[in-house]
Amino acid sequence: MKAHFAVPILLAATWLALAVAQPAAAQILYENGPISGLQMAWTINFGFAVSDTFTISGGNSTVGGVSFGAWLFPGDVLESVEVSFTSQEFGGQTYFDQAVNVMASNCFLSRGYNVCQETGAFNGPNLANGTYWMNLQNAIVTNGDPAYWDENSGTGCHSQGCPSQSSENIVGSIPAESFSILGTTSGSSVPEPGSLLLFASGVVAIAGIVRRKIF
């Protein structure tokens, strides 16, 4: 089976990212840099899966959501994606595995694709300091089209342990993707799911020209 990804062929500007109006209780436990929309994106449905490391470094933390960059065909809506946290890429000990409903924000049209920030909230696991893997797969799109996870190579990340080590279940090692792990550390209050969705604000985007390519 061949892996699918989208490749931009013309870029025209810069991104400013991930930074506004966050409630005091909500935290970014790990961030792997802002959405690129200018490199490529990896399929997270039709049997394809992508796995990226993230590091918890601020003490015992309760994961309450995720935010990641997605590429979709215009008019498509990403409804949900299977999110799992494991001790190894695509396996090992499983700390969480659930289909998570997501909401899009800050979308921009890039001559063939919408690049959106997708954010989902859930009651996740409590994780101690250490490095884990987040796996995305089985994405559900309204009309059955592909969904792609934005690749950013970890450029602009600030968290301990970034950029992520990353892997695709068919081709193996790949550059890192854009995402944030959301939640609270011990001693802080747990944010409302609606509050976590506010992390989706704050990205300014401009369009490039993209085409779809298949290995």
pLDDT at 206: 32
Q: Which residue, 180, 31, 192, 58, is CA-closest to 126?
A: 58
> Using CA atoms, how far apart are residues 164 and 32, in angstroms rounded to an integer?
7
> Using CA atoms, how far apart are residues 143 and 76, in angstroms rounded to an integer?
7
Spell out the domain ranges in the chain. Answer: 4-214
> Using CA atoms, how far apart are residues 163 and 34, in angstroms rounded to an integer?
12
> Using CA atoms, how far apart are residues 171 and 156, in angstroms rounded to an integer?
25
> Using CA atoms, how far apart are residues 180 and 161, in angstroms rounded to an integer?
13
pLDDT at 112: 85
> Using CA atoms, how far apart are residues 90 and 92, in angstroms rounded to an integer?
7
Whether residue 42 contacts residue 151, with contact meaning beta carbons closer than 8 Å, is answered with yes
Residue with token string 């396996």: 91
Per-residue pLDDT of the chain (215 residues; tens, 9 = 90+): 334 555 443 333 333 333 333 433 569 999 999 999 999 999 999 999 999 999 999 999 999 999 999 999 999 999 999 999 999 999 999 999 999 999 999 999 887 899 999 999 999 999 999 999 999 999 999 999 999 999 999 999 999 999 999 999 999 999 999 999 999 998 554 444 444 444 444 433 333 333 333 23
pLDDT at 13: 34
